[in-house]
C-alpha cells in the first residue's frame, strides 16, 4: 500500500490512501497537485488509474503533472460538473472540485 506523501498526511484533512496494483503500469505516472484550505499545496504521487477519489476537504486549482488525463468533479463520487485536464494542464485558481479520477476509461 502506498500512502499519500507524508507532507500531505502531516497537513491533515485529506482522507485519501492510494493502493497500487502489483506493478505501477496501471498508475498515472507523475504528480497531481491542488490547493486546499488557506491555499496550502497538496499532491498525490503516481495515483492509480480509473479510481475515483473524494477530497476530504476544500480543494481547488487542480494541476495535472501526470502523463495521463484526469477529470475533476464538482461533487463527491465523481458526480456533477466534470472538468477534464490533459497532462500538464491546470484548472483556474478558483475552480473548486470534490473528487478526481485519473486516466478514466
Inter-residue contact 28 to 45 (CB < 8 Å):
no
The CATH number assigned to the domain holding 44 equals 2.60.20
pTM: 0.74
Taking a C-beta distance cutoff of 8 angstroms, is the pair 71, 83 a contact?
Answer: yes
* pLDDT at residue 46 tops 70: yes
The residues, any chain, with a CB within 8 Å of residue 3's CB and separated by 6 or more, are 9, 17, 18
For the stretch 55-85, pLDDT in tens is: 999 999 999 999 999 999 999 999 999 999 9
Q: Could you list the residue range(s) of the whole structural domain that residue 15 is in?
A: 2-102
Domain count, the chain: 1
Cell numbers for 54? 473524494
Amino acid at each position: 500500500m502506498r500512502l499519500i506523501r507524508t507532507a500531505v498526511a502531516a497537513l491533515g484533512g485529506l482522507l485519501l490512501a492510494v493502493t497500487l496494483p502489483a506493478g505501477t503500469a496501471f498508475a498515472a505516472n507523475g504528480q497531481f497537485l491542488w490547493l486546499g484550505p488557506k491555499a496550502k499545496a497538496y499532491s498525490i504521487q503516481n495515483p492509480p488509474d480509473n479510481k475515483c477519489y473524494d477530497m476530504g476537504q476544500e480543494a481547488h486549482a487542480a494541476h495535472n503533472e501526470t502523463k495521463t488525463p484526469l477529470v475533476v468533479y464538482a461533487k463527491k463520487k465523481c458526480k456533477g460538473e466534470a472538468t477534464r485536464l490533459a497532462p500538464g494542464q491546470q484548472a483556474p485558481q478558483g475552480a473548486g472540485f470534490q473528487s478526481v479520477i485519473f486516466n478514466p476509461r
